């Protein structure tokens, strides 16, 4: 790992899902969590005993700011897609209540000094000053910007404003399969629902990100027409390198670039290598290392003509672990290895700083008052 650790922003983590759905105490280090799950013989999720993210590891990797999610689906029929069941709550009100339980976990982390909510410019600038000051890193809270991944828990438009008052600053209105507001990954390819169109129109009144990740192609272009604010793709790679609607075409990437957005590079193996089969293929045997993500960065930089629209959106705690992670990564702290990888691929020091934190900071400032 490089001697000087750069301050790092991760544009997509699912911390509350890990804490509340997988019942992980993220104040412990990754090795402790792995050993605990192995000792219990847990098999309910594929990444048991193989997780890569916790709060100590974020500090170890100098990852001082994250965009992190609330995920709470509505699913009255228990839909399934190709690779997974899609459990959800039987009513939007239940989904909202579950999202509030996840939010309370973040608040609990704040109360013990582990995390710090970022909702305005002053919060952000103060946090950056404190993090990059002289205090020991292990005493610093992880700054977080609150996001919804899938908007099912927005019961109606009044709840959008309620979420905003509670600190929400980014919404991805779709996730996997069908949704109340938009179809998502591995659905039937349909786009926004009528409620989704109404939601985007209402979002125009608020300073926040629309996260285009997980939208179908049809939904993507519908959303572009309706939403006038800042767009991002928090954890997204390139379809020209790895096929499938989960990745973006060059045209979609160019639209995000033209709107001043960021594409956060994801580190899930099936998004880095064509035809990777979950729960079957081995990232090491297939040669899926961290450098694979730089192939996607290179492609986006060629499309944009610069390095100002890429960053990390690792999704490393997105219900997968070492079994689906680049083979040369043990924990999220290994994001620092990208300093050497990017340098060896011809990126300048300025480019590397842009990728690690400056691009995200600049873009985030656009939505904070």
CATH at residue 159 = 3.20.20.140
Does a structural domain hold residue 163? Answer: yes
DSSP 8-state assignment for residue 270: G
Mean pLDDT, the chain, integer: 94
User: Which pLDDT score, from 0 to 100, does residue 307 have?
Assistant: 97
User: Which pLDDT score, from 0 to 100, does residue 2 have?
Assistant: 46
**pLDDT score of 134 more than 90:** no
Give the model confidence (pLDDT) of 175-190 as tens digits.
988 899 999 988 877 9
For the chain, give the number of residues. 369
Under 8 Å between Cβ of 311 and 9: yes
Domain with 211, as residue range(s), is 8-365
Give the model confidence (pLDDT) of 77-115 as tens digits.
655 555 566 778 999 999 999 999 999 999 999 999 999
Q: Could you tell me how far CA 328 lies from the centroid of its own chain?
A: 21
Does a structural domain hold residue 107? Answer: yes
Give the model confidence (pLDDT) of 291-323 as tens digits.
999 999 999 999 999 999 999 999 999 999 999
Beta-carbon neighbour count of residue 45 at 10 Å?
A: 16
User: Which pLDDT score, from 0 to 100, does residue 53 have?
Assistant: 98
User: Which pLDDT score, from 0 to 100, does residue 82 have?
Assistant: 54
User: Which pLDDT score, from 0 to 100, does residue 136 have?
Assistant: 59
User: Which pLDDT score, from 0 to 100, does residue 1 have?
Assistant: 46
Domain count for the chain: 1
Give the model confidence (pLDDT) of 25-58 as tens digits.
999 999 999 999 999 999 999 999 999 999 999 9
Q: Is 287 left (phi over 0), alpha (psi -120 to 50) or beta?
A: left
Does a structural domain hold residue 3? Answer: no
Radius of gyration of the chain (CA): 19
Q: Could you tell me how far CA 16 lies from the centroid of its own chain?
A: 12
| 119 compared with 275, residue with greater pLDDT | 119
Rounded Cα gap, residues 290 and 70, in angstroms: 27
Q: Helices in the chain by DSSP H: which ranges?
A: 15-20, 30-40, 55-60, 92-111, 121-131, 157-165, 194-203, 217-226, 250-258, 291-304, 338-344, 349-353, 359-365
Window from 6-15, 188-197, 227-236 with minimum mean pLDDT: 188-197
Does a structural domain hold residue 2? Answer: no
Beta-carbon neighbour count of residue 91 at 10 Å?
A: 12
């Amino acid at each position: 790992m490089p001697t000087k650790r750069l301050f790092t922003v991760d544009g997509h983590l699912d911390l509350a899902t890990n804490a509340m759905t997988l019942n992980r105490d993220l104040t412990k280090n990754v090795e402790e969590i792995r050993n605990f799950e192995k000792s219990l013989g847990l098999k309910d999720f594929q990444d048991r005993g193989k997780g890569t993210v916790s709060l100590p590891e974020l500090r170890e990797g100098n990852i001082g700011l994250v965009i992190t999610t609330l995920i709470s689906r509505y699913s009255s029929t228990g839909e399934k897609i190709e690779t997974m069941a899609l459990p959800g709550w039987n009513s939007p009100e239940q989904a909202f209540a579950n999202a509030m339980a996840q939010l309370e976990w973040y608040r609990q982390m704040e109360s013990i000094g582990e995390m710090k909510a970022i909702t305005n410019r002053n919060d952000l600038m103060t946090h950056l000053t404190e993090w990059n000051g002289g205090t020991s890193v292990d005493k610093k809270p992880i700054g977080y910007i609150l996001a919804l991944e899938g908007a099912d828990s927005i019961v109606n438009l009044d709840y959008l404003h309620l979420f905003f008052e509670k600190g929400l600053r980014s919404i991805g209105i779709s996730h996997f399969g069908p949704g109340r507001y938009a179809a998502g990954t591995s659905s039937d390819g349909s786009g926004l629902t009528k409620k989704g169109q109404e939601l985007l129109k209402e979002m125009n009144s608020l300073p926040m990100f629309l996260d285009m990740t997980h939208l179908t192609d049809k939904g993507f272009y519908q959303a572009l027409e309706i939403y006038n604010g800042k767009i991002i793709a928090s954890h997204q790679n390139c379809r020209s390198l790895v096929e499938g609607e989960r990745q973006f075409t060059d045209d979609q990437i160019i639209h995000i670039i033209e709107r001043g957005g960021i594409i956060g590079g994801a580190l899930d193996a099936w998004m880095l290598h064509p035809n990777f089969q979950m729960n079957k293929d081995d990232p090491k045997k297939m040669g899926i290392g961290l450098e694979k993500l730089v192939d996607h960065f290179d492609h986006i930089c060629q499309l944009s003509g610069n390095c100002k629209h890429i960053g990390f959106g690792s999704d490393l705690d997105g219900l997968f672990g070492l079994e689906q992670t680049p083979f040369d990564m043990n924990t999220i702290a290994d994001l620092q290895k990208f300093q050497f990888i990017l340098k060896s691929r011809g990126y300048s020091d300025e480019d590397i700083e842009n990728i690690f934190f400056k691009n995200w900071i600049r873009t985030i400032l656009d939505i904070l008052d």
